[in-house]
């Protein structure tokens, strides 16, 4: 007789569970991929929560210079979110070594609102942001600075929906500033069709020289008369005479003086100080008056023939 326990048991020599048995007789694949659809969103949410709590952060974004607001973040997330931070934080620049990035030179001082900066940083973590008419300019500026192309395009579409006669000048200026070509075209079309109304808005007189020059060169703008354009140029210059008087001659050359009434030329244009003190402008007025006189003579001669 054999004593119990005296033998040996070979656990490795058994048949185990075959692929056929595990699949209930169906010879399917021996491995399968698993993907958690919510993993990425949960991961980004947790990383953003860690940022908000200051956990594991290794970079600081500094806005507003001394005494300004500082925002802690993770360089790996920022570098993954946008190409702006990849070279900046890769070790080639002092920012990578110091762990501080000074964000300077904004369109207005002291820079964007802290809440807007926070929202854009959160967007880089989560891909979500809420944009309003009050924040869109700053969001657009931040998106442009940080090379957040999709967010920048969204801001352009948002502004396109909000385009109105009351804001078309400001939106056109923004579109030019941030190279949003489709938005610029749509705003420009609205300005052309309503130019006679647009020049009554004070916003128009805040435009820089190059945009005023472009509008005066545009043959499709709608105006009541060329005299109105002369008065528009004067008004724009007078808003900041010290800075803008140097541009008067170039803008004056764009006016079609021959389409102004002779009496207006002699009574209003010629005596204007900016015209009278500029030899080029004086000659342009004299030539226009002479052309009017010749035209009148030709008409009179034709009448008597």
SS3 201: coil
pLDDT digits (tens, 9 = 90+) for 261-298: 999 999 999 999 999 999 999 999 999 999 887 876 66
* Bridge partners for 102 per DSSP: 62
The reported pLDDT for the residue numbered 294 is 81
Residue 102 main-chain phi, psi, to 5 deg: -85, 120
Q: Looking at the domain assignment, is residue 106 inside a domain? A: yes
Beta pairing, strands 100-103 & 69-73: unpaired
Domain-embedded: residue 61:
yes
Q: Is residue 51 part of a domain?
A: yes
Tell me: the pLDDT tens digits for 37-93? Answer: 888 889 999 999 999 999 999 999 998 755 578 999 999 999 999 999 998 888 778
Q: What is the CATH number of the domain that holds 92?
A: 3.30.710.10
Look at residue 282 and tell me if it is in a domain.
no
For residue 114, the enclosing domain spans: 39-162
Instruction: Please indicate, yes or no, if residue 30 is contained in any of the structural domains.
Output: no
* Structural domains in the chain (count): 1
- For position 7, what pLDDT does the model report? 52
**pLDDT confidence of 99, banded at 50, 70, 90?**
confident
* In-domain check, residue 264: no
Residue 216: inside a domain: no
Question: CB of 96 within 8 A of CB of 142?
Answer: no
Residue 195 counted as domain residue: no
Q: What is the tens place of the pLDDT at every residue in 177-206?
A: 999 999 999 999 999 999 999 999 999 999
């Amino acid at each position: 007789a054999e004593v119990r326990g005296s033998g040996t048991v070979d656990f490795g020599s058994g048949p185990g569970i075959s692929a056929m048995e595990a699949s209930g007789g169906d010879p399917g694949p021996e491995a399968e991929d698993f993907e958690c659809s919510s993993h990425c969103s949960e991961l980004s949410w947790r990383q953003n929560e860690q940022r908000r709590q200051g956990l594991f952060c290794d970079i600081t974004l500094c806005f507003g210079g001394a005494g300004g607001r500082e925002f802690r973040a993770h360089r790996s997330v920022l570098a993954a979110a946008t190409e702006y931070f990849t070279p900046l934080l890769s070790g080639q620049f002092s920012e990578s070594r110091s762990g501080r990035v000074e964000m300077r030179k904004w369109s207005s001082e002291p820079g964007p609102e802290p809440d807007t900066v926070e929202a854009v940083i959160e967007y880089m973590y989560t891909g979500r942001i809420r944009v309003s008419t009050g924040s869109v300019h700053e969001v657009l500026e931040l998106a442009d600075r940080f090379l957040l192309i999709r967010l920048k395009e969204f801001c352009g579409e948002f502004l396109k929906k909000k385009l109105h006669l009351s804001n078309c000048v400001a939106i056109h200026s923004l579109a030019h500033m941030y190279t949003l070509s489709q938005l610029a075209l749509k705003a420009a079309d609205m300005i052309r069709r309503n130019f006679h109304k647009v020049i009554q808005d004070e916003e128009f007189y805040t435009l820089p020289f190059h945009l005023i020059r472009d509008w005066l060169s545009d043959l499709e703008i709608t105006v009541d008369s060329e005299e109105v354009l002369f008065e528009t140029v004067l008004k724009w210059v007078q808003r900041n005479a010290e800075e803008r008087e140097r541009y008067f001659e170039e803008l004056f050359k764009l006016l079609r003086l021959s389409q102004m009434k002779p009496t207006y030329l002699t009574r209003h244009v010629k005596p204007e100080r900016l015209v009278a003190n500029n030899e080029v402008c004086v000659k342009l007025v004299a030539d226009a008056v002479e052309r009017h006189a010749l035209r009148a003579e030709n008409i009179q001669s034709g009448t008597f023939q």
